[in-house]
Each structure stands twice: as C-alpha cells, then as structure tokens.
Amino acid sequence: MSVIKPLSGAQAVAEAMRQINPDVVVAYPITPQTPVVEYFAQFVANGLVDTETIPVESEHSAMSATVGASAAGARAMCATSSQGLALMWEVVAAVPGLRLPIVMPIVNRALSAPINIHCDHSDTMGATTIGWIQIFSENAQEAYENMFLALRLAEHKDVLIPAMVMQDGFIISHGVENVKILDDDVVKKFVGERNPDRFLLDVKNPYTIGPLALPDYYFEIKRQQEEAMENAKKIYLEVGEDLSKLTGNKYPYFEEYRIEDAAAVIIVLASAAGTAKDAIDEMRVDGKKVGLLKPKLFRPFPYKEIRDAVKNIPVIGVLDRSISFGSYAPLYTEIRNSLFELENKPKLQSYIFGLGGKDIFKNDIKQIFEELLSGKVNPEEQKYIGLRG
Amino acid sequence: MTAATKGLFEVRMHGRAGQGAKSGSQMLAEAAFKQGKWIQAFPEYGSERRGAPTVSYTRISDKALRTHEPITNPDAVMVFDMGLIRAVPVTAGLNEEAGILIVNTTKSVEEIRQIIGFKGKIYVIDATGISLDLLKIDAPNVPMLGALVKAANIVPLEAAEEIIKATFLEKIGMEKVEKNIQGLHRGYEEVKNG
C-alpha cells in the first residue's frame, strides 16, 4: 500500500530518511538543502525516528561526524548543497577509500563566485572522480525512491562505497508535487538494518580503519575501489528490480523516451528532462521525430549501454547544467566517450543551460530540437541556451 | 482554449515577502490535490526579505505533470499588493480573452483597468482590509484565495477551508483558523468584477 501526498522534493527526501530511520544524521543547513534538515529535525523532535542528530559548526565537521558514526557501525547520513559540499570536500573524498556506505542527499546548487543560491550541477560535477555513486533525480518522486535504491546499493557487501542522491535545487527541492509514499513497514523491510562485517566498535574483532598506506598498498586499495564501482553498476540493477516490486517503477541506468524512431535526441539530467518530455510530445504531434535520453546513474557511468541505446540516432544534443572550464562539459564528455567505439557515430552538439538557476523553457528545448533536426551541428562548439547577449 | 478543455489551470501570484503568496500558492495546490488533481506549487526565490516582490506559481492538472518550467501563460494572475503594479509586469502572458486578473485593492475595477490597461476580466477585492478587520494583520492570501475560488471556480470552497485548517491549526490555534475561514468566505463574497 502507499499514499499520495503533496510534498516538496526536500520533504520527500526527509520523508525517505524518516522511513529509513538512520542511527545517526549529521547535517549542517545550507540553502537549498535546509528544508531537508528542518523536516528531519522535526521528526527527531517529535520522536518519530530513533536517530541521533549531532549539532556541528560546519559541513567539514558534519561529514567528519558522519564518517565517525559510519565507521563505528552506524547507518549514518548527511545532506548538503554547493558550498557545503565544497567545505566538506576533504572528508567527502576520504569516504570511498574508507569504504563507508554513507548516503547523502544533495540538493544541487551553483558554486560561488558569484554567490548564487539557485540550481546547477557544478557542485556534484566537481565530485565525479572521487569514488561516490551518483544518482540524479528528475522530480520529487524519483528523489524519494532513489534514497532507498542508493542505501541498499551502497551497503551491499560487494559495493561498500558512498552514494549521493541528487535533486535540482529549488526547482524540485522547494516545489510541491504529488508524491507516492510507501508504507513505513514496506520501507523498513526493504532497507533492513545495516550489518557491517567489520566495524570500529566491535571490540571482539578489532581492526584499523584509515591507516597510512604508502606506495606499498595505496595503489591496490584504489584498485579495489574501482572494482567496487564496477560491482555497483551491476548491483544497481538488482536492487532496482527489488525496489520495482514495491513501487511499480523501473530503475534502469537511464530513461529512454520516444527514441526508437527518433531523428534527433536530447540527453539531459534531472528536472529539465520532464520539461523536455512535454516538448517532445508536442513536436511529435507535428510529425517531428524527437526523443529524450535521461541518465539516472551518473557514477558509475553506463558507457556501453548508452552507446547501444543511441547508436542509430542521427543527431544528439547533450545539455549540461554545468561547465567544465577548459574542457568539454561533463555530460557531453561522457556521451562523446560512449560513442567512440561506433563506426558510424551520431552527430553531436553540446549545449550549456541553466547555470545559476537560469530557467529553461519548453520552447528552448523545441528550438534545440529544430537545430538538431536541421543537422547544423558542430561537435567542437559549445553552445549556450538563454544566455543574454 | 479554456482551462476546462485543456485540463490544466495555471496561476501566478505576485506578492511581497511576508504577505503569504507562497503559502497561498501551496494552499491552492493542496486544495486541488484533495480533489484528486496533479499539482505543482513553487515559488521564485531571490534574496528573501520582508517587503521584497515575490512570485509564486500553482499548476493544477488532470494529468501527471512533468514540466518544470515557470508559468509564462497563466490562466489567472493574483496581485497581493497594488504597489507592485507599477514595478512588475503583472499581466505578462495573461490572455485577454480567457485570463483572470485579481487585485488586492480598495479601488474599483474601472480604476484598475485604467492603471494596468488590461482588457480581460478584472476582479478586485479588499483582501488587506478583510485581513486587518479579522486578524489585525496584513495577510491577504486567504481572502485572495476566496476571491479566486469565486472567479475561477477551480476548487470548491470546502476544499480550501479544509486546507486552511490543516495549514494553520497547529501554528495559530482554532480561533484564528476560524477567522481565516471567515476571511476566505468574505473574499469569496466581496470580490467584484467588471
């Protein structure tokens, strides 16, 4: 059974955390993640969870305390955005090497400077190379469900690496939508208890966590992390199948929307994908064969699967909500890499949109499709949507 | 195309921070949600400070909503503060045939039409007056909601009542909830159109 509620993305994720009932949550409030912490703090104050929350003075301390709790054997969570992620960076980068399955909801927000509170993906795109699983959510519903998926995936014995669950700042975090909420008992059964093989407070089986590893073993430990990532890719689908039995929704690496016969496809992450679907339906009525591919799992990245999905598409536009200064945009880079093995590659065009919360409209997306359909694309030129002249 | 035939009704609310336009958009959405609709309620955020102009939106649909773009062609616009009319293009994208403009003002429809130059349907309501009368504060959102219910008939008055109760009971107690429900009814009854 489930119930539909009007919830913001932030509320939906807080609700997921309430149902998960983690042992420890340490998060320092930062716009637009703040309501996640506020709602969760209410659950704690009202006795709806058994969670211990630890007040801290910064994100660096928040992630440090989360790491401590997780190493001690607790199921521990944190949550942040933008500058908060930047401030906790030192500790964030250490978590995968410590093999701690911390799940952290992220409400995507632009990085300073200039200071800006609105959505783009520059915060988490800066954290793609350090060994966290990254799952993007289109809406509040996906953000809610991805929390359970991320938790079971991160804690799987063949994975044991941390996971970020992203949602778009304000657009999703502060927008109220219909969200289907599972029964508490169903979630409780799905997430179970964290049962680590080894943990710091297991005094009968002492072990060391976070030791010095010089050239003798550092390299080997990093190689094991990569193996965990490879496993994560496989187990993501397995956990997704289990979750699917509860929600009725599917958890593929990416969503394909009307791409079978498409003459042009847009690839875009998160909330803009929903707007794109409406644009596609309207263009299809006019006989324009257009479609969408929306990656959900960004780390590990499903190169081969995306290659197979788009190999027959004549032209693809990749829309990035962040810039990778001095190089191709993050999503564009991955798509370009995915296609390398193909003999007949689709034509590609890179677009940057929505930095610092600049709105993207259905009409912008239609214009992009028209440009793609015209075939006038240049894979080495980065175009900008809605930029003031 | 009318709102009824397209199965979608979109509202844009212009207010000042502190006037409750954000909670107004949410209460409207939740009232529609109670009627089994798919809804979105979302504010535009700037650097929030009391008195600064705000915009919030409500989308009400018969089908699941996927878009996440701001509303550019609203079916109704609600203006919570007369002073905004000179500073903000409140009728932008509002259709002059089918669109509805509701203004919190003591002025008449004709006076507002002269100031704004909008040719479509204009409704006026002294929502601030009602709020001051009942609650001794300038919180025009609930009477404005009553006016919208009358003008657009998008949710039943009872559904709005239910949501007001759910939103406010814990925060302000039953006595003030009842005053708010009175405010809703007065907004509904006292709104005028021309």
- The low-confidence residues of chain A, meaning pLDDT below 70, are none
Distance from CA of B60 to the nearest CA of A (A): 10
| ipTM score | 0.94
Residues A214 and A331 placed together within one structural domain of the fold: no
A154 lies in the same domain as A259 = no
Query: How many other β-carbons are positioned within 10 Å of the β-carbon of residue B147?
Result: 31
Q: How far is CA A214 from the centre of its chain?
A: 32
Which pLDDT score, from 0 to 100, does residue A389 have?
A: 79
For residue A336, the enclosing domain spans: 254-384
- A242 and A278 share one domain: no
Whether residues A135 and A243 fall in one domain: yes
**Which of A247, A267, A290 is at the close of a domain?**
A247
A389 inside domain: no
Side chain identity, residue A107: V
Answer yes or no: do A275 and B69 touch at CB < 8 A.
Answer: yes
CATH number of the domain at A112, please: 3.40.50.970
Q: Are residues A53 and A186 in the same domain?
A: yes
Residue ending a domain, among A247, A271, A289, is A247
Within A99-217, residue ranges assigned H as helices are 122-125, 140-155, 184-191
Q: Which fold has domain B3-193?
A: Pyruvate-ferredoxin Oxidoreductase; domain 3 (3.40.920)
Q: In chain B, which residue's Cα lies nearest the Cα of A173?
A: B42
Nearest Cα residue in chain A from B25: A176
| Partner B, chain A 268-297, Cβ-Cβ below 8 Å | 271-272, 274-275, 277-278
Q: Give the nearest chain A residue to B44 (CA atoms).
A: A170
pLDDT of residue B1: 46
Together in a domain, A290 and A213 = no
User: Which residues of chain B, if any, have pLDDT below 50?
Assistant: 1
- Whether A300 is in a domain gets the answer yes
Q: Best of B30, B69, B162 to disrupt the A interface by mutation (most A CBs within 10 Å)? A: B69
- A107 shares a domain with A195: yes
Together in a domain, A185 and A298: no
CATH number of the domain at A332, please.
Answer: 3.40.50.920
**A286-299 burial, b for 16+ CB within 10 Å, e for fewer?**
eebbbbbbbbbbbb
Give percent above pLDDT 70 in chain B.
96
If one counts the domains in chain A, the total is 2
A282 and A204 fall within a common domain:
no
Q: Give me the residue spans of the domains in chain B.
A: 3-193
A117–B67 C-beta distance less than 8 A: no
Q: Are residues A183 and A259 in the same domain?
A: no
The answer to whether position A29 is within a domain reads yes
Give the model's pLDDT for residue B45.
81
Query: What does pTM read for this prediction?
Result: 0.96
| Closest CA relative to residue A103, chosen from A237, A194, A238 | A194
> What is the rounded CA–CA span in Å between residue B127 and residue B20?
12
